Amino acid sequence: MSVEADLFAVLGPLVSGRAYPDVAPDGVAKPYITYQQVGGNAVNFLNGIPDQRNGRFQINVWASTRSAASTLIRQVEDALRLSTTLRATTQGGAASDYEDELKLYGARQDFSVWFQA
């Protein structure tokens, strides 16, 4: 399974399957989650290729109210930390966001995730 599929398996149930890589489709119901890899730590060996990779993933949640977005990002953090597949750790606290054009409240947080190469 790919890391993106693993992320969906953990995040999807929090929003009835509305978890998407990069961007959500137009008109999607709220709340929803988007995620993307925004870096990571390189693993280098002198001999051979590592069987594990590290990615820094930004998770974004979007909802109709600030309260709903704040609650959802806390659920995301808990779910990722508890995942034995992803072995995620937080890379800082959650940050609030607001999308004026769409009238959406958001929150985002970065996680370090280890996964099979």
Q: What is the token pair recorded at 86?
A: 């992803």
For the stretch 41-54, pLDDT in tens is 777 666 766 677 88
pTM, two decimals, is: 0.90
Cis peptide before 50 (omega within 30 of 0): no
Query: What is the pLDDT, as a whole number, of residue 43?
Result: 72
In the chain, what are the domains? 3-116 (3.30.2000.10)
For the stretch 56-113, pLDDT in tens is 999 999 999 999 999 999 999 999 999 999 989 999 999 999 999 989 999 999 999 9
